[in-house]
A and B are shown apart, each in its own frame.
Chain A
Amino acid sequence: MMKIVGKNIDRLDGVDKVTGVGTFSTDLSAPGMLYGKILRSPHPHARIIKVDTSEAEKLPGVEAVIHRGNVPNNPFNTAAPMYTTVPYLKPVLDQWIFAEKARFVGDEVAAVAAVSEKIAEAACKLIKVEYEVLPAVFGIKEAMAADAPEIHDPRITPEGKNVVAEIIRIPPGLPGDALDKAFEDADIIIEEEFKTNVQKQCQMENMAALAITKPDGSITVHSTTQTPHPTKAILAKVFGVPASKIRVTNPPYVGGGFGSRIGLSGKAEVVAIALSMATRKPVKVVYTRKEDFMATDTRHASIVNVKLGAKKDGTFVALDLKGYTNTGAYCTFGAELPGVLGAMTLAIYRIPAIRYYGHSVYTNCTPGGAMRGFGNPQGNFALERVVDMMAEKLGMDAKELREKNISRAGDPWFLPYPCSSSELAECIKQCARSIGWERRGKLNNGSGHIRRGLGIAVGTHVSNAWPFCVDYDNAYVAVQSDGSVNLSVGCCDMGTGISTSLPQICAEAMGLKWEDITFTFADTASTPFTIGNHASRGAYAQGTAVKAAADDVKKQLLGYAAGLFKVSPEALIIEDSIIKPVGAEGKGVTVVDPMTLPGAIEEAAAAPVPPPQDHEIVKPVHTQGPQKGISLEGLAYYAHIRNKQFIGVGKTIPPNAPPWHCCAAEVEVDTELGTVQVVKMAAAHDVGTVINPLIVEGQIEGGVVQGIGYALSEEILYQPNGQQAHTSFSAYMLPTAEDIPEIDTFIVEGSDPSGPFGAKGAGECGLVCPASAIANAVANALGAKVNELPMTAERVYALIHG
Chain B
Amino acid sequence: MWQEYLFPENINDAVSILSGSDGLARIIAGGTDLMLDIEGGRHVVEKLVDLSRIRELDQITEENGIIRIGANVTCTQVVNSELIQKKAPALSQGARRLGSKQIRNIATIAGNVIRAQPAADTAVPLVALGAKLEVVSADGTRTMEILDTYTESFAKSKIDSTSEVVTFLHVPAQGTLEGSAYVRLDKRRALSLPILNVACKISLAGDTIKSASIAIGPVGPGPRRAFDAENKLVGSDISPESIQSAAQLVINQCDPRNSLVRGSRKYRMAVINKLAERAIMQAVACAKA
Whether the Cβ atoms of B189 and A736 lie closer than 8 Å is yes
Contacts of A719 in B (CB 8 A): 260
**Which residue of the partner chain, among A672, A674, A726, A739, contacts B188 with CB atoms under 8 Å?**
A739
Residue B5 lies at the interface, judged by CB distance under 8 Å to chain A: no
Asked whether A738 lies within 8 Å of B188 as measured between CB atoms, the reply is: yes
- Asked if A613 CB lies within 8 Å of chain B CBs, one says no
Q: What is the 8 Å Cβ interface bit string for chain B, positions 245-279, against chain A (1 contact, 0 not)?
A: 00000000000000011011001001100110000
**Binding-face segment, A211-219, A600-608, A793-801:** A793-801
B259 to A: closest C-beta gap in Å: 8
A738 to B192, CA, bound (A): 11
Q: Is residue A179 within 8 Å, beta carbon to beta carbon, of the partner chain? A: no
- State whether A725 touches B274 (Cβ < 8 A): no
Contact call A672/B274, Cβ cutoff below 8 A: yes
Contacting residues, chain B, for A738 (C-beta < 8 A): 188-190
| B:82-134 near A, CB below 8 Å | 100
Shortest CB–CB separation between residue A722 and chain B, in angstroms?
13
Find chain B residues with CB under 8 A from A674 CB. 267, 271
Q: Which residues of B contact A718 (CB under 8 A)?
A: 260
Interface status of A518 (Cβ within 8 A of chain B): no
Whole-angstrom distance between the Cβ of A673 and the nearest chain B Cβ: 5
Known A717-B260, A725-B261; judge A672-B271 contact (CB<8 A).
Answer: yes
Complex CA–CA separation, A332 to B270 (angstroms): 41
The smallest beta-carbon distance between B267 and chain A, in angstroms, is 4
Residue in B187, B188, B263, B267 whose Cβ sees the most chain A Cβ within 10 Å: B187
> B193: nearest residue on chain A (CB-CB)?
A730
Given contacts A738-B189, A738-B190, A739-B190, contact A797 B261 (CB under 8 A): no
Q: How near does chain B come to A730, taking the closest CB pair, in angstroms?
A: 6
Which A residues lie within 8 Å of B195 (CB)? 793
Q: Smallest distance from the beta carbon of B219 to chain A beta carbons, Å? A: 16
Q: For residue B185, which residue of chain A has the nearest CB?
A: A673
A327 to chain B, nearest CB (A): 21
Question: Could you give, for residues 712-743 of chain A, a 1 whenever the CB lies within 8 Å of some chain B CB and a 0 otherwise?
Answer: 11000111000001100111010111110000
Contact, CB under 8 Å: A793 / B187: yes
By the criterion of a CB under 8 Å from any partner CB, how many residues of chain A are at the interface?
26
A675-B184 Cα distance, complex, nearest whole Å: 12
Q: How far is the CB of B273 from chain A (nearest CB, A)?
A: 9
Report the nearest B residue to A718, measured CB to CB: B260
Report chain A residues within 8 Å CB of B188. 713, 733, 735-736, 738-739
User: Restricting to B165-203, which residues have a CB under 8 Å from any CB of A?
Assistant: 185, 187-193, 195
Decide: B191 and A737 in contact? CB cutoff 8 A.
Answer: no
Give Cα A792 to B261, complex, Å.
Answer: 11
Contact of A737 among B190, B267, B270 (CB under 8 A): B190
Q: Assess the B271–A731 pair: CB atoms within 8 A.
A: no
Q: Mark A495-533, 1 if CB is under 8 A from B, else 0.
A: 000000000000000000000000000000000000000
Q: B260's contact among A713, A725, A737, A801, by CB below 8 Å, is which?
A: A725
What 1/0 flags go to A641-676 for Cβ under 8 Å of B?
000000000000000000000000000000011110
Residues in chain A near residue B275, CB distance under 8 A: 673
Known contacts A719-B260, A726-B261, A730-B193: A797-B187 contact under CB 8 Å:
no
B190: which of A673, A675, A736, A794 is its contact (CB, 8 Å)? A736
Q: Name the residue of chain B whose CB is nearest to the CB of A673.
A: B271
Taking CB atoms, residues of chain A closer than 8 Å to B191 are 729-730, 736
- Give the Cβ gap from A600 to chain B, nearest Cβ, in Å: 65
* B193 and A673 contacting across the interface, CB-CB below 8 Å: no
Given contacts A673-B271, A673-B274, contact A793 B189 (CB under 8 A): no
Q: Which residue of A lies closest to B271 (CB)?
A: A673
The residue in B189, B261, B264, B275 that gathers the most chain A C-beta atoms within 10 A of its C-beta is B261
Q: Which residue of B lies closest to A712 (CB)?
A: B187
CA distance A673 to B268 in the complex (A): 9
A726 CB contacts on chain B under 8 angstroms: 260-261
Cα–Cα distance between A801 and B271 once the two chains are bound (Å): 11
Find residues 41-89 in chain A having any chain B CB closer than 8 Å to their own CB: none
Residues in B with CB closer than 8 Å to A712 are 187
With A713-B188, A729-B191 as contacts: A794 and B261 at CB distance below 8 Å: no
**Which residues in window 752-802 of A have CB below 8 A to B?**
792-794, 797-798, 801
CA distance A711 to B140 in the complex (A): 55
Which of chain A's residues have a CB closer than 8 A to the CB of B189?
A: 736, 738-739
Q: In the complex the two chains form, what is the Cα distance from A259 to B2 in whole Å?
A: 40
How far is A98 from B263 in the complex, measured between Cα atoms in Å? Answer: 36
Interchain nearest-CB distance for B277 vs A (Å): 9
Query: Once the chains bind, are A797 and B271 in contact (CB under 8 Å)?
Result: yes
Given A713-B188, A801-B270; A794-B260 close (CB under 8 Å): no
Task: Report how far A801 CA is from B267 CA in the complex, Å.
Answer: 10
B187: which of A733, A737, A798, A801 is its contact (CB, 8 Å)? A733
Given the interface pairs A730-B191, A730-B193, A736-B191, the reply to whether A794 lies near B263 with Cβ below 8 Å is yes
Docked CA distance A798–B268 (Å):
12
**List of A residues within 8 angstroms of B193 by Cβ:** 730
- B267 cross-chain contacts in A, Cβ below 8 A: 674, 793-794, 797-798
CA distance A733 to B274 in the complex (A): 23
Which residue on B lies nearest to A714, using beta carbons?
B187
List of B residues within 8 angstroms of A735 by Cβ:
188
Min CB distance, A291 to chain B, in Å? 15
B20 vs chain A, min Cβ distance (A): 28
Interface string of A695-720 (1 = CB under 8 A from B): 00000000000000000110001110
B192 and A733 contact, CB distance less than 8 A:
yes
When A730-B193, A738-B190, A797-B271 are in contact, do A675 and B264 touch as well, CB less than 8 Å? no
The CA-CA distance from A731 to B188 in the complex, in Å, is 11
How far, in angstroms, from A729 to B187 measured CA to CA in the complex? Answer: 12
**A713 engages B274 (CB within 8 Å):** no
Question: What is the bound-complex CA distance between A737 and B191, given in angstroms?
Answer: 11
Q: Chain B residue with minimal CB distance to A715? A: B260
Which B residues are in CB contact (< 8 Å) with A737? 190
In the complex, what residues of A have CB within 8 A of residue B187's CB? Answer: 712-713, 733, 792-793
Q: Find the A residue at minimum CB distance from B189.
A: A738
Complexed CA–CA distance, A718 and B275 (Å): 28
Proximity string of chain B (194-224) to chain A, C-beta cutoff 8 Å, 1 when within and 0 when not: 0100000000000000000000000000000
- Complex CA gap A672/B192 in Å reads 21
Q: Which residues of A sit under 8 angstroms from B100, Cβ to Cβ? A: 736
Chain B nearest CB: distance from A24 CB in Å?
21
What's the least CB distance linking A163 to chain B, in Å? Answer: 28
Given contacts A730-B191, A736-B188, contact A797 B260 (CB under 8 A): no
Residues of B within 8 A of A792 (CB): 187, 263
How many Å lie between the Cα of A719 and that of B270 in the bound state? Answer: 23
Q: Do the beta carbons of B274 and A793 come within 8 Å of each other?
A: no
Shortest beta-carbon distance, B206 to chain A, in Å? Answer: 28
In contact, A731 and B264 (Cβ under 8 angstroms):
no
CA distance A738 to B190 in the complex (A): 6
A731 with B190: in contact, given A793-B195, A797-B271 (CB under 8 Å)? no
Across-interface contacts of B261 in A (CB, < 8 A):
725-726, 731
A-B pairs, 7 with minimum CB distance: A725-B260, A738-B189, A736-B190, A672-B274, A733-B187, A738-B190, A794-B267
> Can you list 25 contacts pairing A with B, beta carbon distance less than 8 Å?
A673-B185, A673-B271, A673-B274, A673-B275, A674-B271, A713-B188, A717-B260, A718-B260, A726-B260, A730-B192, A731-B261, A733-B187, A736-B188, A736-B191, A737-B190, A738-B188, A739-B189, A739-B190, A792-B263, A793-B185, A793-B195, A794-B264, A794-B267, A797-B267, A797-B271
**20 extra A-B contacts, CB within 8 A, seeds A673-B271, A719-B260:** A674-B267, A675-B185, A712-B187, A717-B260, A718-B260, A725-B260, A726-B261, A729-B191, A733-B192, A736-B188, A736-B190, A736-B191, A738-B189, A738-B190, A739-B188, A739-B190, A793-B263, A794-B267, A797-B271, A798-B267
